[in-house]
Every structure is written in C-alpha cells, then in structure tokens.
Structure 1
Amino acid sequence: MGFRNLRSFNLALLEKQGWRLLTKPDTLVSRIFKARYYPQGFFFTSDIGHNPSYVWRSVLEAHPLVLKGVRWTVGDGTSISILGEPWLPDAQNPFVSSQHPALSSKRVCNLLVLDGSGWDEEVVVDLFEQREQRLILQIPVQYGHDQDKITWIGEVLSLFTVKSAHRMMEEMNGENTHDAAALEVFWKKFWALKLPPKMKNLVWRACQGCLPTMIQLRTKRVHVSTICLVCDSHEESIYHALVDCPTAQLCWNREGIVTVLQNNADFLDWCNSNFLVLDSNKKKRLVALCWSIWNARNDKVWNNKLLSAESIVYSAKIYLNQWLVAHSYNVIYPSAGFVLGDGAEQRQPPLENSIKVNVDGAIFADTNQFGVGFVVHNTQGLLIEGVTKLFQVPATPEFVEALGVKEALSWIKRNRSYQVAVETDCLVFIQALRSSIEMISMFGQVVNDCKVLLKELQHVSVFFVRRSANKVTHNFARASLSYPDCSFNFGSVPINLLPSLVAEFNG
C-alpha cells in the first residue's frame, strides 16, 4: 500500500474511525460515543472527557488530524455551527476567528436571507472580520437547499481514504518532499505516453520505491548483500540500479540523457526533471531504456550474464520500435464519454433559430482571485451579450469552470432562452456533469446545481470543445480582472476585446 511509517499508518486508520463518527452519526457506535463524550455537539468539539475508555483515547489521538482534513460543504446551513467548525473555503484556516457575542451558539443558516437563496450581506459585514466576510460571501449557496455535507479535502471525490490521510501526515511531518502539483503534471505526461504497458509499469514501480533492489530487499528483512552485482562497488538502490551504475551511465550517455541530480534526490525526482526538458520521443526512449537496464540487471542476478551498454540500448530501441509499428495500424481514441457535438476544434456558429453560449474561467493566483466569462452568439455569429464576473477567493480550475457554466445557465433561465448550446473546454466538468456518481465537494455541489438547472430548462445542452474553439471566451474570462461583474453588447465591448471578436466573426 506504500506506507513507510507504521505510526502514521495506524493514525490514518484511527482517522477513518473519526471520519465515520462524523459522517455516520446514526450508527450504534456513533450514538454511544456521542452520548458518552459529546452529548451537546459533534466529534469536532469533543474532548477526552472524564474517565475515557482506551478506545476513545485512541480515536481522539487522531482528532487534530481529522480536523485538518475535514470540511463542511454548506447546504441549508442548519447543521454547521458558525464557531469551532471548519466551513470557510480556506485551506490554511477554515475556522471563524471573529468573537462577536452574537455568533455564540448560532448556525450558518442564521447568516442566510429568510428564503435561503443567498447570504445576508448586512449581517455578514456586521459580524465578521474582512477576511471572513470575503470568504463567506464567495461560498455558493446550494440550489435546492440540500443538507450540509462533510467532505474530505485530500481526494477528488471528497471522500476519506486512508491513503490520502497518510499522505497528509507525511506532508505535515516533512516526510513528503515532492511537489504535489509538479508530480501531477509529471504523471499526466507519463501515462499519456504510447508505450508497452510493462515498460510503464516498471518505471511506475521504480518511482513508487517498489523494485526489489538489494537495499529494498534488506528493508524487508531479506538477508542479502546490498552491493550491486553489476558493478560490484556500490550499494544497489533503485536510483543506482537504473541511473547511477557505471553500466547504466554508459547507456544514458549513448542516449544523450543527463543523469546529474541534486543530493538526496531519488529516481522519481530524476524522472520528473528529465520530463520537464525532453520531447515526447525522448521520454519514450527514457522509459524503454529503464526497462532494458532492469532486464539486463536481472540477467546478471539470475543468469550471471553481463550485457554491454550497446546491447542494452539496442534491445530497448528494437523492442520499442517493433511495438510502435505493431500498434500504429490499430489506434483507439478514448471517447471519455463523448456525445455528438463534442470535441470541436474551431468555433462553429449555432444552428438556425438557436443561440450558443461559450464559457471559460481564469485563475489569478497572485491575488487569490478567479474570474469567469461567457459569450452569447446568435445564428449569424453576432454577439448578443458578453458577461464577466470576478470572485475574491482561491479555487481549483474545475470549480472555476463549473461555476462559469452555472452562471451561464442562470443567465439562460433569467432570459427565458431556449434552443441553447452551452460549450466549455473543461473535460473534467463535462465528465462530472454526465456522471451518476454523487460528489459532495464544493465542485460537486456546483455540478449538482447545473444538473438541476438543466432539468428546469428546455432544449439546453452542454458540450465539450477544444481550447482553440473557445479563444474569445478565454479573453473575456481574463478580462474579468479589469472589468469585474460587467455585461457587454457589441456596442459596449472594451476595445481590447474587440479584435478577437471580429476575428472570430470573420473566421
């Protein structure tokens, strides 16, 4: 499972029990613990209590870790205490720090207007500090007033997993030295490579520290020498076996791939640094050569046969070329749930007697803001309306795109438009919109709102298009920083947005 620290693993399992106490309050165990240790509150506010049992002491050991990873997703606001519970959309501090007496024992629903359709801005401004005002007013009020939901920040679906809890503890303890965002980019590039699965599997296992090198075997209490059998001079780690061994060095030199790495870096760091600078063909050859070097190492271990660097490189090239030729006549394109109308690479005018709404979002990381824009065209391709909106809170790309579509659907509903095609270049959102899987995160909440709006609207469809077909809307989304919460027709469009509109119309 990839766990290296037994205490962290045990704490992650205890976190799972805390998660169950929070998310399944009607179970017998939850009701017993609540009656005994926190009769007036939630697991959020529980403490050690008087004469606690060993089981409760153990579960409470993970209490701070649960609080770090758990968030409330605001629905009707009736279950969330304003004070002492994590409901603000702030990764560092999701708790309210304002100490106004009026907030004591109050629920989040008390901050909504009477019909629950939005925040009571006057109340929020009166009771909260400026940071909290900004965060609260940017929380989308759920369409249809569903119940509040408890979510987990470490997973895309916002459901707790022991793996994500363990990873969070590694980051807290400084054990996880890899940049999560950089690794996500690396793995996307890696899995997108057209290569034999066994080659990718070998490199993936090496990056995860799961190859049976001599050092790895020793950590599993296998009594073997840690010296590399190929060079007979250094200890055999994964990095040494695939990169730093003299034979491996000769192979990499023949391929023209750099093997110099900073101190304390590992094989994953080496792969990541090379993927940043190599083109697609070089990346394929890197993975293939790793596979060939490992096969040569196994030949030495099991058959006492030492291959030359020339033979290892030649073997990698021949196998890779043969596989690519064999698969070049049977290309299968992943559908990703596509429907008729998806995947346009150039903007197409809407069908007769209909309109088209293109949506895009933009994140301004330097100022912790994001903007959305949507552009409405008629059958002739002329601009009906362009809208920009700016939000004062950090957010994920998929959330931004989803909120943009929700704003566009709300516009369609207000204007009573019909026969509308909505287009976005966010494939993650499209897949979520067409999926039956329930998502309880803020992103999932906005997706559910879009589903509800689509049921209310007639003849409105949402399609995926390539970024090249969404250039004008991208410019509008970026312009939200200069023109927040604005609406334009063709006669009032800012001059810096006109060239792209004209070019699109003429195109």
Structure 2
Amino acid sequence: MTQGRLDGWYFRKWSQAGKEVFLKSKAASLPVFAMSCFRLPKTVISKLSSIMSNFWWSSDEGAKKIHWIAWEWMCLLKSFGGMGFKDLESFNQALLAKQGWRLVNQPESLLARFLKSRYFPHENFLSAIMGTRPSFAWRSLLYGRELLSQRLKQEIGNGKDTKVWLDKWIDDPQEGLRPPWRKNHSFDVNLMVSSLINPDLRRWNLSTLQEIFVPGDIELILKRQPVVGREDFQSWKFHKKGTLTEK
C-alpha cells in the first residue's frame, strides 16, 4: 500500500524539501493504525523503510540510486545531523506504549477490563506476565510496556496503593526510581505511604518522615506533596504535565 501511494508521486519532480515534507506528513503516517495495535515484524519495518529511502534518493520510479547515507542516520533529529524522519520500529513501540498508558490510566475502559480478565486478573498491567497462549495483540502490548515501564514515575495520591519499603516511589536523580533507604533495622514491611501523610493538613507528616527515613530521602520526598484527593497514579517523567505522547 505504501509503495503504491509513493509510486503515484514519482511523476512529479519533487525538490528534496518537497520530498521531506511528503515523507513526514504522508508516507510515515500510512501504517499508524496497524502500528498502534500490533508490533510489525522486522521484515515489514525494513520494507517500509526501504520504500521511503528509495523515494528520498531516487527521482524516477523503479530507478536505483546510491543511498549515500544509511536510513538509520536519516532518522536522527536534525540537531544530531539527521533529517528527522520517523524510525518506524521506535515509532511502533511508542504507539504501543501509548496503548499501555491508556490501560494504566483508564482501568475501567472496556479493553482494559477485557485484558485484565484474560491476562492479569489479580494484578495490574505493569506487573502482568505474558501468560499461556498469549495473543499477538497482547504480546505487542507487552513490547510497548518495555518502553513504558522504563520512563514511568510513581506519584503519590492518598498513598493507599503504595508500599513504603517494597515499591519504587522515591525519584532519585542519580539512581532513578527506587524504594527508600532503611534508617532502622526493624521496620514494617507492609507499611503503606498513606501512614506518612497528615490527613488534616493533606501534606507529608514531617515528624514521621524524620523518624524512619534518612535525611537525603526526606529531601527527595518533600519535593512533591501528595495529591490526597485521588488514588496513587503513574506519570510520564519527560513531560511537564506527566502525560505520555508519541514523541
């Protein structure tokens, strides 16, 4: 399909600038629906990339011209010396990660409830395993989750769903997300983060923090106050509003 779409444009004598606009706005968007649902095989990704590369380097349909730069380099941002074309394999994973993001943030949706009943009835999407006889769509979603889970950040709402010593909720600039360091030898392994929040002030209970955490962790915790009016939630680390986009 992509090949047919591009073939129809060969008769026009495009400038390189025109080809750039066309490839970014039209050709790269053709398989988006399929890529949002399934992980495309590497052979299909390679074929699509080859079609786009041939169109970029050649002005005549069917003519073979030298590709002076590998397509992988052309997919780099312009600030890194590339042309900013989409790396289709990375784009495919990003679209699947976006579907995973919806499962995390919209657990009551029809799709989320169906997948939960089939693949992770007693846990959440982020901790679900592949299971027995998984569908291709489910395996594709787990491929997107590989990217999603690396860049999610645990945010504290009312603290009732996050375990203090077992969950990774401390955002350490040096180590990334991790559980807090233990100050005392004895501790309650099932202690929930909700126990650290002053329900009247709806803020961290400083005296409790000082009692059980090391000073460095207290400083990290106090940087963000809990959002007591909602349940604990996930945010995307690289967006100001904490929402995930394909970019």
TM-score, length of structure 2 as denominator length: 0.54
Residue number in structure 2 paired with 1:66? 148
Q: Secondary structure at the match of 2:200?
A: coil
Per-residue deviation, 1:57: 1.6
2:102 is the alignment partner of 1:20: yes
* Match of residue 161 from structure 1: 245
Q: CA deviation at 1:9?
A: 1.1
| Cα RMSD, aligned residues only | 2.9
Partner of 1:33: 115
CA 1:102–1:36 in 2, change beyond 3 Å: closer, same or farther?
farther
Instruction: Pick one of 115, 131, 134 that aligns with 1:49.
Output: 131
Unaligned runs of 5+ in 1: 164-507
Contact 1:3 1:9 in 2 (8 A): no
User: Does 1:96 find its partner at 2:179?
Assistant: yes
Flag the 1:82–1:134 CA change in 2: closer, same or farther, 3 A: same
Does the CA contact (< 8 Å) of 2:204 and 2:225 recur in 1? no
C-alpha distance in structure 2 between counterparts of 1:66 and 1:73, whole Å: 15
Kindly report structure 1 stretches of 4+ aligned residues shifted beyond 6 Å. Answer: none
TM (norm. structure 1) is: 0.28
SS at match of 1:89: strand
Question: Aligned pair in 2 of structure 1 residues 84, 29: CA closer, same or farther (>3 Å)?
Answer: farther
Identity of aligned residues (%): 29
2 CA distance for matches of 1:36 and 1:83? Answer: 30
Q: Over residues 227-266 of structure 1, what are the superposed CA-to-partner deviations in whole Å (9 max), with x where a residue is unaligned?
A: xxxxxxxxxxxxxxxxxxxxxxxxxxxxxxxxxxxxxxxx
Give the count of matched residue pairs: 161
For the residue of structure 1 that corresponds to 2:154, the secondary structure is strand
Cα separation, 1, equivalents of 2:154 and 2:205: 19
State the shift of 1:86 in Å: 4.8
- Secondary structure, in 3 states, of the residue corresponding to 2:224? coil
- Map of 1:119 onto structure 2: 204
User: Would you say the 8 A contact 1:84–1:95 is kept in 2?
Assistant: no
Structure 1 residue aligned with 2:217, among 97, 117, 132?
132
Point out the structure with max Rg over C-alpha.
1
Instruction: Find the residue that maps to 2:90 and give its secondary structure.
Output: helix
Aligned match of 1:171: none
Q: Point out which structure has higher relative CO (alpha carbons under 8 A, 6+ apart).
A: 2
Amino acid at match of 2:223: Q
- What is the CA-CA distance between 1:79 and the residue it aligns to? 3.6
SS in 1 for 2:153: strand
Q: Contact 1:72–1:87 (CA<8 Å) still a contact in 2?
A: yes
AA aligned opposite 1:162 = E
Q: For 2:115 and 2:88, locate their aligned partners in 1 and report how far apart those are by CA, in whole Å.
A: 26
Query: 8 Å contact 2:97–2:141 — kept in the other structure?
Result: yes
Per-residue CA distance 1:337-363 (angstroms, 9 max, x = gap)? xxxxxxxxxxxxxxxxxxxxxxxxxxx
